[in-house]
């Protein structure tokens, strides 16, 4: 595959994953008498008859916590408790009841738990990984509304990094390229210098290389969750994600 072909592949996979994951995620924000701000990113997950909102503990610990549903402009405050555990776990979830889910007309959907991979194990080091989240630099408060624009990124795992708990993703803003489907308005407004706010985003193994090597047509439905994005390391210019096998074990132990 030539460099031009690889760039076209990255463009296609990113745009298709952007469309596919839009329904799963929500910005998580807080509001006080003095401040309105974005805190992080959350994802809706379904397992059997339960529906939960999943993020990081250092995000969920900020109260009050507000969330929304894709396709609805209303913002809701989560009234109930969170199940959470601080570092080194740094994960949290909250149940979303049927009345809460049906509070407005929306297009949000939860990620079926079956789409969480058994472990973080890309078939190839060059495999495309993807995450979608909400960065603080793209959130603003104006005219009585907290406006935040989500963004998605295809990236790769940094070679010879991480350990048995985490893996690291490249975060090099100067090398970010917009996809062909990015509108001129979005291209002008979008910033991608600061990764603050992406905490709580789920990282997907697109499995593009794995699937196409078998001669099969790839679709976003082939992607599986492979980690929970927890921290931005400015020194190494990477994003640190908790491996999905540990996330699954924690969710199982906590009864999610």
Give me the domains of the chain, ranges plus CATH numbers.
Answer: 3-254 (2.40.10)
Cα–Cα distance measured from residue 156 to residue 79, given in angstroms and rounded to the nearest whole number: 37
Distance CA 124, CA 165 (A): 19
Q: What pLDDT is stored for residue 187 in this prediction?
A: 57
pLDDT digits (tens, 9 = 90+) for 126-176: 999 999 988 655 554 443 444 556 678 999 999 989 999 999 999 887 777
Q: What percentage of the chain reaches a pLDDT higher than 70?
A: 87
pLDDT at 2 over 90: no
pLDDT at position 227 is 98
pLDDT in tens, 111-130: 999 999 999 999 999 999 99
Q: What is the 3-state secondary structure (H, E, C) of 174-224?
A: HHCCCCCCCCHHHHHHCCCCCCCCCCCCEEEECCHHHHHCCCCCCCHHHCE
Q: Span 7-31, mean pLDDT?
A: 93
**Calpha distance 108→71 (Å, rounded):** 7
> CB-hemisphere CA count at 13 Å for 5?
2
Q: What confidence tens digit (pLDDT) does each residue in 233-248 have?
A: 888 889 999 999 999 9
Q: Is the pLDDT of residue 106 over 90?
A: yes
pLDDT at 146: 45
pLDDT at 92: 98
Q: Identify which of 88, 32, 41, 90 has the alpha carbon closest to the alpha carbon of residue 64.
A: 32
Does the pLDDT at position 192 exceed 70? no
């Amino acid at each position: 595959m030539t460099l031009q072909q690889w760039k076209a592949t990255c463009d296609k996979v990113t745009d298709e994953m952007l469309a596919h994951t839009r329904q799963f995620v929500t910005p998580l924000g807080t509001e006080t008498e003095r401040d309105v701000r974005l805190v992080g990113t959350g994802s809706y997950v379904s397992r059997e008859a339960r529906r939960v909102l999943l993020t990081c503990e250092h995000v969920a610990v900020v109260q009050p916590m507000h969330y929304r549903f894709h396709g609805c402009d209303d913002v809701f405050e989560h009234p109930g408790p969170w199940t959470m555990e601080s570092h080194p776990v740094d994960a949290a979830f909250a149940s979303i009841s049927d009345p809460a889910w049906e509070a407005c007309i929306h297009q949000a959907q939860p990620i079926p738990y079956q789409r969480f991979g058994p472990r973080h194990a890309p078939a190839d080091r060059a495999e495309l990984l993807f995450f979608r989240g909400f960065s603080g630099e793209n959130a603003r408060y104006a005219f009585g509304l907290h406006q935040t624009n989500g963004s998605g990124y295809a990236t790769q795992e940094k070679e010879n990094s991480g350990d048995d708990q985490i893996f690291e993703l490249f975060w090099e803003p100067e090398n970010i390229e917009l996809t062909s489907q990015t509108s001129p308005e979005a291209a002008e407004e979008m910033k991608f210098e600061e990764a603050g706010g992406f905490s709580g985003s789920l990282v997907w193994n697109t499995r593009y290389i794995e699937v196409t090597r078998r001669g099969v047509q790839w679709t976003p439905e082939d992607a599986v969750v492979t980690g929970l994005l927890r921290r931005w390391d400015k020194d190494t210019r990477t994003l640190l994600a908790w491996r999905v096998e540990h996330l699954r074990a924690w969710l199982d132990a906590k009864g999610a």
